[in-house]
Amino acid sequence: SPLPAMELLSTPKNIEINNITCDSFRISWHMEKGDLERVTHYFIDLNKKENKNSNKFKHRDVPTKLVAKAVPLPMTVRGHWFLSPRTEYSVAVQTAVKQSDGEYLVSGWSETVEFCTGGALDYAKEHLAQLQEKAELIAGRMLRFSVFYRNQHKEYFQHVRMHCGNVMKPSLKDNSGSHGSPTSGMLHGIFFSCNTEFNTGQPPPDSPYGRYRFQIPAQRLFNPNTNLYFADFYCMYTAYHYVVLVLAPKGSSGDLFCRERLPQLDISSNRFLTCSVEEGELVF
């Protein structure tokens, strides 16, 4: 005899979001009593709201569809690989019953609600100090260097020449790196690298950020009138780990921002980047 028809599921209502951090949130909703014992899975449709001021040289984010086994509500959604700090999201939910043939009986989608993830308050100086200690433990030997460099795509430098008076202007730090870093979305600056190859003493010829490179003598950015701060340490899921430091002219707005939020480093004695005077000249 044919299987009895499965009753339809009610649409989730009264979505509530709370306990929001830089990379997690708690979500709950109302379901009809008859659905509570039947539902086996939740489908969560999470979308990042478009930021009109987003960096046009960055790749666009794609919507995130999450599938979770049904658990008592509220449930926590956590994941720094798809949640960014200080970012607005919209979310809708759908409940489902997995049937014996592997197909799902699903409810209608709930209404869409919006929320914004947390940010700098999630990272205390103590947490950054712990990251700094981890970075110091794996830091390799120091190599001499003479230039800072910035790699980008051809379109970036064309934009600088045509629309910015041939000046690379500071931009807001994006959300790359550790989630919840105090600098993300808060500090204006320009990213430079100073990696040095062991055998040549020069920057590596290639960069993942683009084929075109701008170089500047190290003393122009780093000298005794500069304060140095530890900002981040993270893994790119390769053999490499990255340390992010902030160079800020003493007394500048960036210096005041960092002084309140980041561990300060001694420019002449630390495990990452140093500047000292030898025979009357700056050595890096």
111-158 pLDDT, tens digit per residue, is 999 998 875 455 667 778 888 998 999 898 899 999 999 999 999 999
Q: How far apart are CA 99 and CA 108, in angstroms?
A: 17
SS3 string of 126-163? HHHHHHHHHHHHHCCCCCCCCEEEEEECHHHHHHHHHH
Tell how far CA 8 is from the center of its chain. Answer: 41
As annotated, the residues of the chain forming the CATH 2.60.40.10 domain(s) are 13-118
Q: How far apart are CA 23 and CA 276, in angstroms?
A: 39
Whole-model pTM? 0.62
Query: Residue 229: enclosing H or E segment and its boundaries?
Result: strand 226-235
pLDDT tens string, the chain, 284 residues long: the values are 443 445 688 999 999 999 887 778 999 999 998 888 899 999 999 988 765 454 544 434 445 688 899 999 999 988 755 677 678 899 999 999 998 888 999 999 999 999 988 754 556 677 788 889 989 998 988 999 999 999 999 999 999 999 999 999 999 988 777 766 788 888 999 999 999 998 888 999 998 889 999 999 999 999 999 999 999 987 765 667 889 999 999 999 999 999 999 999 999 999 999 999 998 899 99
Domain 13-118 CATH (choose: 3.40.309.10, 3.40.190.10, 2.60.40.10, 3.90.340.10): 2.60.40.10
Q: How far apart are CA 42 and CA 246, in angstroms?
A: 42
Q: Calculate the CA dihedral of residues 62, 63, 64, 70 and round it to 10 degrees.
A: -170
Tell how far CA 203 is from the center of its chain. Answer: 25
Backbone angles phi, psi at 201, to 5 degrees: 75, 10
* Sign of torsion over alpha carbons 154, 200, 139, 228: negative
In three-state secondary structure terms, 271 is coil
